[in-house]
Amino acid sequence: MDVSICREATSLNSGAPLESCEALSYARYRVLVADDQDSICGLIERVVQMRLGCVVLTAHDGHEVIEQLQKEPVDVLVTDMMMPGLHGFELLKQVRALRPDLDILVMTGFPEDFPYVEVVQTGAKDFINKPFPHAELEAKVLRLFKERELQREREKAESKYRSLFELSSDGMVLLEGEDYVIADANHAFCDLTGISAGSLKGRQISSIFEGADRLRIEQGLMICARRGGGTMADLILKHPTKREIHVDISASFIQAEFGRIVFLTFKDVTEKREVERQLAEAAEKDSLTGLFNKRSFQNRVAWAVTRARESHKPVSLMTIDLDNFKKCNDTHGHMVGDELLIAVGQVIRGSIRSAMTDEGFRCGGDEFSVILQETGIEGAIQVARRMQNEFAKIHSYGTTMSIGLASCAGDLSAEDLVRASDGALYKAKGKGKNAIETA
């Protein structure tokens, strides 16, 4: 046993103990001291117990160390490198294999045989040369305790973060690098995209969007990066089921020690957008026939004329009035009259192209209009005849259709086009009803 270690033993009682609250904070730790000399084990045991307040166990050779570690939990191993039986680097390897989480402090009087770098590479956390003052040993063990405290705090924080991350009902994604590569994604985000976490990792975030939204997310992230964060509204994710999922995205940029990370939160607003769409549609649609209403007609006819002017392609306007509708109402009642108006709406929708090209409107009572995009007057006459033929097939209660047509290529204003179509309808009704006239 080293004389200097013995001398330190005489000064233990005079040394000031740690503050009680700090000593108590380490009371849960367990230290295993391994040395073939009882005196050294006893000295280290007293130093660690008195100064740090933790539990100390002892062993006298490597085999005893392994047995102790197999029987009970230990946080720190303080071990000599020269002992009978199992010792040295082989002991370190076996301990590390058995307990990867254990902190090992090596002590030796033969630093030439056990170089610091090799000792650390084999699995030790720190190294102390014999002989050593007890203050140095205390400091090194204390450092290991503090590192374990920090590790525990990090694990706690990570566990808390992971719980929030995984249990969130919003989709969450971590991005890395300048290309915004997905480093992690929670269950909610995987559900939104219909893609597993394993398949998402390593992909650029823009790859899960299509068309214009891919450009929007790229530009949005550039802007948010300059500001340190921000939001992007109403982007569309394409689900493998072909469903369109509308999302609002919040972006946070965090500068960490290892580089910048980007945290995105995806809120599913599909249902909200659908409700908004339905409300907007309800404001534009006639509740009885399902056609667009008069307010929509005023906006859309102006847009149609502007489009015709810019595209140099014609647009035609059809104005429709039911002949003898008042007589039908007076004779058969308003319920039958409503049924007839609904049937007119069905005839109009069935006689024109899709709403992306042509649009039908109920402008009031038994008055209807149809906008025919990229259609000249001859094409409009064909649509009008088809509409009259279809109307003749239903039980019309003695009513017929009078239709006025007008066409332009942007050379008229919207008001003039409407006026011309109304004038053509007036002529049609003047000819004896169930007629088609052009402006």
Over residues 325-352, the pLDDT tens digits come to 999 999 999 999 999 999 999 999 999 9
Which of 269, 300, 328 finishes a domain?
269
Structure tokens at 356: 């992306």
**Any domain includes 278:** no
**Any domain includes 227:** yes
| 396, 312: one domain | yes
| 149, 9: one domain | yes
Which of 158, 188, 216 finishes a domain?
158
| 19, 73: one domain | yes
**Any domain includes 387:** yes
| 254, 365: one domain | no
Burial class (CB in 10 A: 0-12, 13-18, 19+), 134: buried
Question: 366 catalytic, yes or no?
Answer: yes
| 384, 290: one domain | yes
| 123, 205: one domain | no
Whole-angstrom distance, CA of residue 344 vs CA of residue 182: 54
Over residues 247-302, the pLDDT tens digits come to 999 999 987 766 788 999 999 999 888 888 877 777 888 989 999 999 889 889 99
CATH of the domain at 326: 3.30.70.270
**Given 75, 80, 366, 422, which residue is catalytic?**
366
Whole-angstrom distance, CA of residue 266 vs CA of residue 254: 17
| 422, 299: one domain | yes
Number of domains in the chain: 3
Amino acid in the structure at residue 325? F
Instruction: List the chain pLDDT tens, one digit each, 439 residues.
Output: 343 443 444 344 444 555 544 555 788 899 999 999 998 898 888 888 888 888 999 999 999 999 999 998 999 999 999 998 888 999 999 999 999 999 999 998 888 889 989 999 999 999 998 888 888 888 999 899 888 888 888 877 777 777 778 878 899 999 988 889 999 999 999 999 999 999 999 999 999 998 899 999 999 999 999 888 999 999 998 888 888 899 999 999 987 766 788 999 999 999 888 888 877 777 888 989 999 999 889 889 999 999 999 989 999 999 999 999 999 999 999 999 999 999 999 999 999 987 568 999 999 999 999 999 999 999 999 999 999 999 999 999 999 999 999 999 878 999 999 999 999 999 999 888 899 999 9
Residues 58 and 78 sit within 8 Å (Cβ to Cβ) = no
| 306, 382: one domain | yes
**Any domain includes 275:** no
| 24, 125: one domain | yes
**Any domain includes 279:** no
Residue identified by tokens 């680097």 is 89
Residues 224 and 251 sit within 8 Å (Cβ to Cβ) = yes
CATH of the domain at 206: 3.30.450.20
Which of 158, 193, 211 finishes a domain?
158
Whole-angstrom distance, CA of residue 404 vs CA of residue 421: 5
**Any domain includes 200:** yes
Structure tokens at 391: 């109307």
CATH of the domain at 129: 3.40.50.2300
**Any domain includes 163:** no
Domain span at 393: 285-438
| 339, 398: one domain | yes
Residues 249 and 220 sit within 8 Å (Cβ to Cβ) = yes
| 197, 232: one domain | yes
Residues 323 and 399 sit within 8 Å (Cβ to Cβ) = yes
Residues 429 and 399 sit within 8 Å (Cβ to Cβ) = no
Residue 412: φ, ψ to 5°: -115, 155
Cα 354 to chain centroid distance, Å, stands at: 35
User: pTM higher than 0.85 for the full model?
Assistant: no
Pick from 2, 7, 69, 10: which is nearest to 34 by CA? 69
**Any domain includes 226:** yes
| 112, 221: one domain | no
